[in-house]
Every structure is written in structure tokens, then in C-alpha cells.
Structure 1
């Protein structure tokens, strides 16, 4: 049986889709699993060791969920490639215009669009989704053991040694993510300086997509999500905003401090064992899947937050005994 999962979304969304693919593969071990994803999330599926074939579609890197394709020709070419396979089942994890177009033209014996399936894990309820005729598979990440760790064996040994020497026993602060552009840079800069003053072992990290430059702060650029998983596993802990790197860190790091804004902790919060989610009690807004909202709201939590309180919470969390 040839199966296609369509996941044209952000890093965190793709990472949290892996348990569903694993569950599907366990129920149907002889199936051939293919994934259609964006080019910047290719490494997630490739390093999961769950997927047999990966197709990519170029989409603009944007903070807006309603991303536009880089061109109609690219979509037509992708449809042609997919139709050569003749899939038995096609499952789409996001109900947006590009996916609707693909679902209409890509041939599959049975098709299903799964709205917000990936978020069912957050409320600790086992959701049953009848995706196969007469069958069902369960999908959740209710605890640390449900995460899928990324395979880091593809990283060159010299690179591994260099990264290990740089981060082992250190504290990592990943300041990037899909909503980085909405963060108030002045406040972020102030928070970093406050942390570096009293926490000498902290290392500031970003990805190539994060256009961040501070003249007085050294920032380490990690050019792949697999390398981020590797260093997160060897650091003494990670600090992240609600983002894809946060979800990957939750599966790999020993300790995680997650800073949340308008997104719902119940739906989007990490499930690692030793973690703390920081969300201001004054922040009443709570975005959940399916809610329409402005991405400008993602900067408000840092703009309005008392940085002294945030810094103290971070210090208390990482100084406590495990």
C-alpha cells in the first residue's frame, strides 16, 4: 500500500506529525510511506527514519499561515511527480488553499483531510480517527516517551565534535522560530543581556532563517534542525519561545524553559519531563487551533512582560536540583 502524507507547514507542525506516521506504520508495517513537505522541513522527515520517500514543494518562508507558492509551475511539476506514484491513500494535515489544490489534482484511491489532527495530543485524550476503511489509528503525544527523536548520525564526525565541545554542559537560548519577526528586538536584546550578565554559560542560538544581528552579542547559527537536536541533547538545558525549535528541544534536551505568548499551553505546550512553561498571568488571550488571529499578537507577551520576573524564573528553574 502506497500512502502519502501532505504536511506543508512549519517545523514544529511537521515534527509533531511524526508520532502519527509512526503509529500508522506500526498498524500497516508493509505500507510505503511518502511525505510532501516544504524544503526547509525536509530534514525532519528524513531524520525520523519513518519515511520511505520525500517530495518537496517550494513555498515562501513566511510568518503567515496562508503562504503563497513560489510559482504555479512548481505546483504543477509536483502534481506530475506525485501522480506517477499512484497512491492508495492520501492524508492532508492542513486545510489551506495549496493543499486543497493538490488534493483535487493528485490521484489517490482514498483521500482524507485531517483538520488540526496534530493538536489532539495536547489535551491528553486519545483521539480515534477513522482514516482507513474499517480501521482507525490513534495519534497523541501525551508525554516525553511519545516524542520521535531525530537521527543525528548523518552529521559529520568532525562537526559533531566541534558542536559537542561548544555546547556540552552549557545553557542554550534559541531566539528564533516562525514568529521571531514579531518579537520586539529591543526587549529581546535587553533580556539576553540580563541573562548573560548572571548566567555565564548561556549560548545564544538562531537558525539561518532568523535575521537577527546584535553588535554586542555573539550568536551561534545552527544551519539544520538535526544539528539543533544534537546540541540540545548535549546541553544542560534549553530556553525557547513557542516555536518549532522548542518542540524539537522538548524531545532531546534534559531541561526546557518555554516562553509562551498568545498560544494555548494546553494545546501547544511541550511534553518533556523536566520543563517549565512561562506565560504571564496577565496575558488573557489564548489562541487555539482553528482560531483566526493576527500574528502581530506574538510580540505582545515580550513587550508587556516584566523582564526581571522572567529572568528570575529562568534562573530558579535551571539552578534547581534535577
Structure 2
């Protein structure tokens, strides 16, 4: 059988290509990794097939605050080094909920109840694009699944004004099933894999799905968990019934970003996640504000899951005593 044909070019475009790389607080590569370096998180280029997009020198650094309710959870800075004392280009926090907010923070800090999904507040500071006021965007938790004392959000929704001039809605959707992860997630999670983009034909399903696979092969081919950012309000849809190329969901929605975490995680693992822009986002057509928001919300989702992993490890340590 021949390779499936890509969707017509008209269905994959939303205006002229603006940039070869997505635009963020500074020019970000289409594919990047989040790395743990000391007490901070660093964004570095992760596409070895494109020398201009691969660098060990950090592009951005992110401050992470544990258990401090008076500070944002994550602050993304303009430069890649703390010593530069660069300005904050975006930060994210839990919104204030009144006088009893300190009680919920205390419970979260000491681990009385972990994993509660909450709506987050994203702030893009004033001064960007001539704005006189801060731009505030909500990251809303949807599709909450209860499990014992835990509550998990499988979807986060964001509505914001993009460079198209429209208010658009995006959703981060959890794709954590190991053997059923979306192609867009597990194809993009390793830096040494060939670069892929929206419109490329989907690969044939590997025979490893039905065969017993060694752990080494499994680690190379699949990620531990992944999320996909879908553009719900895109004017372009992949035609139903035609071969679905990369960059489109089964429902025909455009995929604008994916993030994947390695199977083995922990403080000793340097790479925390791999991120890739797709479609209009990869071409810079959604604007710099969107790139900031997509980048920070992806890191925030990883941060939520990492805090929960740490809480579970602490509980296991206490039970062994």
C-alpha cells in the first residue's frame, strides 16, 4: 500500500507563513525541551536535525515556587540565565479565593489532599505590544476524574485573543495511554528523531503494538505520558473521510502543540518534557502572546504532575518508617 496522501494545502494553511520558528518571549524553536538545572527550569532547543533549532544554551528560564501562596507558582523570564536578572514575560498562579485561601494552600503544602485540579490565572505583564495593563488569561480545569482522595483534570481550556484578531479557544487534552499515545506526541519527543510537521503522512502502525517489546525498545518508541493542545475555533478542518495527516485530531480539529514526558521521571532526570509546536502555531501565525501562553501552560501541567509525584514519594517514605 502506498503512503496516505496529505490533506490539501488549503486545509493546512491559515494565512501566509510568518516565521520559520514560533515566536515567544524571544524566538523559540518549533521543538524544545524543558530541563532541570539546579533549582530552576530551562528551555533549550531540541531538534538535532535543524542546527539552528538545537542548542544547549538555555533560551528561557523558569522560576518555580514550592508551597509559597504569596508568589506565582511559575515565572518565565526573558533570558535563559538567572544572573541576567531579565524581566518576567509571563507568570501563572492560583487565583485568590478569599480569606480562607491560606487554608487550602496549607493543606496542599503538607499533603493532606493532593492532586486537586484548580483553575489557574496566567498574567502577561504590561508593556508587551504596547499594552498599558496586564493581560490576564484563565486556564480552566475540565473533565475532572475523582480517584480516592485525588481529583484529576484531563483537560484544560484557554480562551484568548490571538494574532488573527479573534478570540480563540484551545484545549490541552491528556493522552497518557502508553500504547495509544497520539502519533504527534511520540514522534516528536526525541531530539534525534526526524523532524515532523503538520501535513506529513502518518506512519504505519508499528508491529510492536501486538508483539512483546523489550523495555529498551519501549523507552525509545513511546513516552510515559503526553498532552495535546487543540485549536477548537480554527476555521480550517481536516475533511472527514480522507486520510488524516499529522497535525489533526480524529474530530478534524487542528493540533497546535504537543508535550511529552519521559517514561522515567524524577529529580535525577534532566529532561522534564519535550514540546513541539504544530500547524499555525509553528508558523508563528497565532502570535507571540499565544506562544508564551502555550509554553507556560505546558510547563504548568508538567509542574502539577511533578508536584503530585513528589507528594506520593513523600507518603511512601513516611509509610516505610
The answer to which structure has the higher helix fraction is 1
The answer to which structure has the higher strand fraction is 2
**TM, length-normalised to structure 1:** 0.26
Point out which structure has higher relative CO (alpha carbons under 8 A, 6+ apart). 2
